[in-house]
Amino acid sequence: MVRRIETIGNEVIFSFEGQPVTARAGDSVAAALTAVGISHLRDSVVSGAARGVYCMMGACFDCLVEVNGVPNRQACMTEVRHGLDVRRQSGGVEVRS
C-alpha cells in the first residue's frame, strides 16, 4: 500500500476517467493516481494486459495516459493541474491525419 510521506502543497483537483481526484501541487499525474490507489492506467497495445506506473522517471513509457485529449502522455512526466482531464488508454492509439 502506498501512502504520502508529506502533505505540503495546495490541493489540486483533476479528473481520471471522469471521476475527481484530489492531488497536491507539484505531484505528477502518476504520483497523484498512485496516492489514491489507482494503478491501472492503460492496456498493453500488444497483449491487452493492464499496465501502470513502473519506473516513475520517464524512461519506461509504461504509464501512458490520455491527457486533455492527447494520447500517449507519460503520467510520471506530466504535472497535475487543476481541471486536467486524464483518461485510461485501451489498446493502440489510432493515429489520425
Partner 1 sequence: MTIRPRAADTLVIGGGLVGAAVGWGLASRGETVTVLDEGDQALRASCGNFGLVWVQSKGDGMHDYARWTRSSADIWPEFSERLKEDTGISTGYHKPGGMHLCLSEQDLEKTRALCNRMHNVNGAQGYGSEILDRKQVADMLPGIGPDVVGGSFGRHDGHASPLKLLMGLHAGIKARGSHYVSGAAVDKIERDGGGYSVTTAKGVYRAGKLVLAAGHGNSAFGPLVGLDIPLRPEKGQILVTERVAPFLSMPTHVVRQTEEGSILIGDSHEDTGFSTLSTTPIMSQIASRAARFFPLLKNLRVVRSWGAVRVLSPDGYPIYQQSETHPGVFSVNCHSGVTLAGAHAMLLAPMISAGQLAPEFEAFSARRFHGQTH
Between 6 and 94, name the residue whose CB sits nearer to partner 1: 94
- Nearest approach in angstroms of CB 20 to partner 1 is 28
- Nearest approach in angstroms of CB 94 to partner 1 is 5
Contact residues for partner 1, defined by CB under 8 A: 45-46, 61, 64, 72, 91-97
Which has the closest alpha carbon to 87: 38, 45, 47?
38
Between 1 and 95, name the residue whose CB sits nearer to partner 1: 95
